[in-house]
Amino acid sequence: MIDRTLTEESIDLGRYDEKFYAIVGRGDENVKFFSKVFDVRIVPRGTELIVKGEDEKVRRFLSFIRTVLTRLDRESMTAKEVRDYAKDFLSKVDSKEISEEEEIILITHRKKAIVPKTPTQRKYVEAIKTHDIVFGVGPAGTGKTYLAMAMALSHLKEQKVNKIILTRPAVEAGEKLGFLPGTIAEKVDPYLRPLYDALYDMVDYDKAAYMLERNIIEIAPLAFMRGRTLNDAFIILDEAQNATREQMKMFLTRIGFGSKVVITGDITQIDLPRREQSGLIEALRILKGIEGIAFVWFSQEDVVRHPIVARIIEAYETHERGADKGKEGESREEEVRG
């Protein structure tokens, strides 16, 4: 007897190109992954996928593929990012299709849609929308600063704030650069360059230059925040693990009415002198449970750079578990997370 709950459908992914390989993966690795997580049988046939299984599960998988194809029309994704997206898709309540329009944070000048790509990134974006102060803590490459910048530009565009302030401590990462010539701005420029890079990736150079010239967007070292009160601004403190206890307290007490603050950092990459305690670690301990403040913790699972970056982070973490520094960083994170 034929089981009428079973069905067979097909979907054509189009020509063999980067979009096709992002979905199926090299050597059909994603096809095998999709078969397992969606609990359907998938047979690749040229550029077509033949899907067999229970009707509801087949329809869910085809809905996912249509959503991915729509997203790939706007931005590039790796095969791993498509797999991560599949996990997130399945974790949605009642398996409802993700609304791409709701996810988009910002469209860049290159017509690229900036969207959160992992569940933690989505949680981070939601926290920024609903809280006055958000701490984003985790390893490099997880999109902490990039997404915060996108949210800041979105708030500015929607006139929720009047200006954007980007700041970070001017601390050398294990190197002694010595005397730097030039004006104060030129001296601190190397420390702030990553913030400029993120800005220019989202806004064309002329518009960014105009906003910087008019102080609509201000980029300054953390020490320059002393004595100011920052109203109606979106403020991002990057590399906050290198802020001292005094600097962090000073920064947090600068926040004025109508402002939103995002503080990002990686407590396993502290470049302060050994005797100097990180202000970020202290703040994570002291500010637990305060209304209006959210804490979002990222891991290597959220790395959205080249796939090898996640593997490098994992390798270092494995190595450092047996070293004093690694043990200290691990116990430190466990302590502040509670």
Domain 6-92: CATH superfamily, name plus number: K Homology domain, type 1 (3.30.1370.10)
Beta 113-114 vs 106-107: how paired, if at all?
A: antiparallel
The predicted-structure confidence for 177-218, as pLDDT tens digits, reads as follows: 445 565 555 666 676 787 888 899 899 999 999 999 999 999
Dist CA 235 CA 259 (whole Å): 7
**Residue partners of 238: CB distance under 8 A and separation at least 6:** 145, 148, 166, 167, 168, 194, 195, 264, 265
> What's the chain's average pLDDT?
82
Domain with CATH 3.30.1370.10 in the chain: 6-92
pTM: 0.66
Does the structure show a pLDDT above 80 at 287? yes
pLDDT for the residue 250: 93
Q: Where in the chain is the domain with CATH 3.40.50.300?
A: 113-337
Nearest to 143 by CA among 252, 262, 243, 248: 262
In whole angstroms, what is the distance from residue 42 CA to residue 39 CA? 9
Percent of the chain with pLDDT over 90: 33
CB 239 within 8 A of CB 169: yes
**Structurally, what CATH architecture does the domain formed by 113-337 represent?**
3-Layer(aba) Sandwich (3.40)
Q: What are the CA-CA distances from residue 105 to residues 42, 95, 145 (Å)?
A: 33, 22, 14
Buried b / exposed e over 71-109, threshold 16 CB at 10 Å, is bbeebebbbbbbbbbbebbeeeeeeeebeeeeebbbeee
- 257-278 residue pLDDT tens: 999 999 999 998 888 887 788 9
Q: How far is CA 113 from the centre of its chain?
A: 14
Q: Is the pLDDT score of 244 beyond 60? A: yes
Q: Which helix (H) or strand (E) holds 24?
A: helix 18-24
